[in-house]
């Protein structure tokens, strides 16, 4: 709202009617340049000598990445295994099972895969590494290594309003999204930064068949927004950091009064207070208090059950980036639960 003019976009009705774009990738070079500039300014990703692919949100990118990497498995008839450490963002599993069931098999917990006893090297494995993680905000690292393990690094939250940025990320295939940078989730715009040319070409081919590239209108909107972000220097990050910090302070103060429920704890090496991630990963402390979701739901607080993230139902994820009113109501209802002794 403070930058409504500089971030506004007006498009005439006659403008941009054809499919045409500058080249086969259907990616605006100006937008690509801006993305590289933004990463250089923030220092959160290496983009020099890397390829960039755009998608309809990172959702489309994640699927394109898994499909592209599965094509590397040419030698065997067995599917490529897909793993992620628990709790993981549930979309990875859902996409693999819905779109790629022939070639990919979601195995779940990365630790189990690493510690399996047969001693065989890991072949044909794709690991999703989400850092910071959804739902618990941890800075995850790859669990399974080796030459035939491909990694998809979901860096959606690797921005300074959520987490410290100790160094630019430089993984083989990194995924980012406007949804978690500026909050424009409905515009559906994400991108990947890729080292390998073959993987890049396969992802471009995927996008072409899937949707003929990202909507040009969306690319224009993303361009205008990223330009406004860059013009403000650290402004948007400072603003978002302060906002997230206030949310977390209020939530932590409320749950600190409960000895039955707790919030995720962050390793102090990452952050002196909390990582200001957009989700609270709430745990019921007592073994017998299994169904965290039901207790919160009875108090009109709707979260997402732990099992959706491959975890236990003692956990619930609460989404924190809502309107001020929603947040006030959430805190109010949590306070009532805590003071009633239910929490």
Binding site for ligand PMP (CB under 6 A): 57-59, 89, 130, 134, 154, 156, 177, 179, 185, 190
Residue 180: CB minimum distance to ligand PMP, A: 7
Q: Where are the beta strands (DSSP E) in the chain?
A: 51-55, 80-84, 104-109, 125-130, 149-154, 173-177, 190-194, 261-262, 279-284, 304-305, 315-319
Residue 105: CB minimum distance to ligand PMP, A: 21
Residue 15: CB minimum distance to ligand PMP, A: 26
Q: Are 190 and 178 in contact (CB under 8 A)?
A: yes
Q: In the bound complex, which residue of the shown chain has the CB atom lying closest to ligand PMP?
A: 57
Half-sphere CA count of 145, side-chain side, radius 13 A:
1
CA 255/CA 331 separation, integer angstroms? 9
> Which residue lies nearer to ligand PMP by CB, 126 or 295?
126
Residue 210: CB minimum distance to ligand PMP, A: 14
> Which residue lies nearer to ligand PMP by CB, 177 or 254?
177
> Which residue lies nearer to ligand PMP by CB, 62 or 295?
62
297, with CB counted inside 10 A (0-12, 13-18, 19+), is middle
> Which residue lies nearer to ligand PMP by CB, 85 or 130?
130
- The count of other CB atoms within 10 Å of the CB of residue 151 is 21
Q: Are 174 and 39 in contact (CB under 8 A)?
A: no
Residue 309: CB minimum distance to ligand PMP, A: 11
């Amino acid at each position: 709202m403070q930058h409504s003019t500089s971030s506004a976009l007006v498009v005439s009705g006659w403008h941009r009617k054809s499919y045409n774009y500058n080249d086969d990738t259907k990616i605006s070079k100006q937008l690509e340049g801006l993305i590289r500039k933004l990463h250089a300014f923030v220092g959160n990703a290496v983009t020099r000598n890397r390829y960039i692919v755009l998608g309809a949100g990172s959702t489309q990118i994640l699927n394109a990445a898994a499909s592209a990497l599965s094509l590397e498995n040419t030698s065997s008839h067995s599917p490529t295994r897909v793993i992620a450490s628990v709790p993981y963002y549930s979309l990875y599993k859902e996409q693999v099972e819905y779109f790629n069931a022939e070639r990919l098999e979601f195995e779940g917990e990365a630790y189990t895969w690493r510690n399996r006893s047969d001693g065989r090297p890991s072949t044909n494995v794709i690991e999703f590494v989400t850092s910071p993680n959804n739902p618990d905000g941890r800075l995850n690292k790859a669990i399974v290594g080796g030459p035939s393990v491909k990694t998809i690094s979901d860096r959606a939250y690797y921005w300074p309003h959520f987490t410290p940025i100790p160094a630019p990320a430089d993984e083989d295939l990194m995924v980012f999204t406007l949804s978690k940078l500026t909050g424009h989730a409905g515009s559906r715009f994400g991108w990947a930064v890729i080292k390998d040319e073959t993987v890049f070409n396969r992802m471009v081919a995927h996008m072409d068949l899937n949707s003929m590239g990202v909507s040009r209108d969306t690319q224009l909107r993303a361009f205008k927004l990223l330009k406004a972000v860059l013009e403000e220097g650290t402004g948007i990050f400072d603003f978002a950091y302060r906002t997230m910090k206030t949310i977390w302070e209020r939530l932590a103060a409320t749950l600190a009064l409960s000895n039955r429920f707790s919030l995720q704890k962050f390793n102090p090496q990452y952050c002196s207070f909390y990582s200001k991630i957009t989700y609270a990963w709430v745990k019921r402390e007592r073994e017998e208090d299994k169904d965290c979701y039901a207790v919160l739901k009875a108090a009109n607080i709707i979260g997402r059950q732990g099992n959706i993230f491959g975890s236990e139902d003692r956990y619930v994820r609460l989404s924190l980036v809502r309107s001020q009113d929603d947040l006030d109501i959430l805190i109010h209802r949590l306070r009532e639960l805590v003071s009633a002794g239910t929490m």
